[in-house]
Chain A
């Protein structure tokens, strides 16, 4: 679906659910997941599947759980080796 404009630079590996994702250093988690063909980042509190929309931190549609913290905007977090990213289902939990 999405292709990188240019490839190059050192790569970084992290996990999305049970998959290993290879990303280019410096890109966001959202960009890396989209480039890997992932199109469902979360399900909204009302049920439907959601994916990134704005990629600039404004729409909050790209929310995922990163290293156990829910409601993180995937487009605002840079990839880093060993991150553990998970789909978020519905609203985040407090407790």
Chain B
């Protein structure tokens, strides 16, 4: 495993790279890593714990089922990412010696009423009609019982299943990105805030708390810290925080590889229960009401879970666009400046590294990505 220490100051006074990425969360790191793979020289700048950092508080699922309803390009990008994940995580693992814990058992969304089951069935058939649901299927209670490791609660009516759903350890993934970026000769510059970016001849001058960097291209992937920097580059990143709360139980013996909406067992044995969607601004705390709702649903699904103690819980802020779909865009006013954000940075990590990053290096987003431009939020664009 490479043991290089991250630099705490810039490598040189007038440091120049092909691509500078602002934001060292999962989105920025995947793009920086992918840009290096595509042959560019890269600097990845990350502010630190003063920022909100979804990449350090998420659920770790590569979740395909139900994504992209009403927007086939998003469904296709999500499905493509899940297809790229096995090869991508293996490459990272071999290079860094870090097992990011990828496994793809397929995912189940349990339904606790006939209405819920009907809603899932409708989503699956709409996706199929629009171009593909990645094999999303509706299962009755008996079929679900045969697939699950614990006895089902009485109210479980059935589930939707998608064989493409997978999970990984998102903290190991982030660490592997950061290590491999350095091992491949990229500059990972943590604890460094980007204060301003201005266009200069041939690229951009990036003012940071540690000095200036010059870059041919700049990518704004600073999560909830993106909007201001983006605006100064003629880009629009209208993101808002949506809180999610997660509970973690004590470690338990392995239940077998399985995955549910809002419930998974980590390699280490903890059960993660989660995923509220709350509009509470920048409050990333926890609330008993949400914990109660989440644990009630988990116990209604699998009554045995009630025996486990909860050892940790936290809240973290998702980065949400007005329609929930990603934004990838090149600035018209300042070509070479790009915006990248999404609300499923684990799921899309492989696509960010292997699809989005190479097109940024090439300086041109293909049509399949250009459709994610923030122009969609403006009536004038229609």
Instruction: Report Cα–Cα, A71/B305, bound state, in Å.
Output: 14
How near does chain A come to B206, taking the closest CB pair, in angstroms? 45
Question: Can you pick out 5 interface pairs between chain A and chain B where the beta carbons lie within 8 Å of each other?
Answer: A45-B253, A91-B269, A92-B308, A95-B255, A95-B304
A-B contact count (CB 8 A): 33
Interface residue? B309 (CB, 8 A): yes
Q: Which of A45, A71, A94 has the most CB of B within 10 A?
A: A94
CB neighbors of B among A16-71 (8 A): 45, 69, 71
Query: Residues 230-272 of chain B: 1 if any A CB is under 8 Å from the residue's CB, otherwise 0?
Result: 0000000000000000000011111100000000000001010
CB contacts (< 8 Å) of A3 on chain B: these are: none
CB contacts (< 8 Å) of B309 on chain A: these are: 71
Contact present for A94 and B253 (CB under 8 Å): yes
Contact present for B150 and A95 (CB under 8 Å): yes
Interface residue? B151 (CB, 8 A): yes
Interface residue? B307 (CB, 8 A): yes
Q: Is the interface of B mostly helix, strand, loop or mixed?
A: loop
Q: Is the interface on chain A under 10, 10 to 19, 20 to 34, or 35 or more residues? A: under 10
Chain A interface (Cβ < 8 Å from any Cβ of B) = 45, 69, 71, 90-95
Contact present for B307 and A94 (CB under 8 Å): yes
Contact present for B150 and A71 (CB under 8 Å): no
How near does chain B come to A87, taking the closest CB pair, in angstroms? 15
**Nearest A-chain residue to B271, judged by Cβ:** A94
CB contacts (< 8 Å) of A90 on chain B: these are: 253
Instruction: Report Cα–Cα, A63/B227, bound state, in Å.
Output: 49
CB contacts (< 8 Å) of B304 on chain A: these are: 94-95
Instruction: Report Cα–Cα, A10/B252, bound state, in Å.
Output: 37
How near does chain B come to A42, taking the closest CB pair, in angstroms? 13
Instruction: Report Cα–Cα, A86/B303, bound state, in Å.
Output: 24
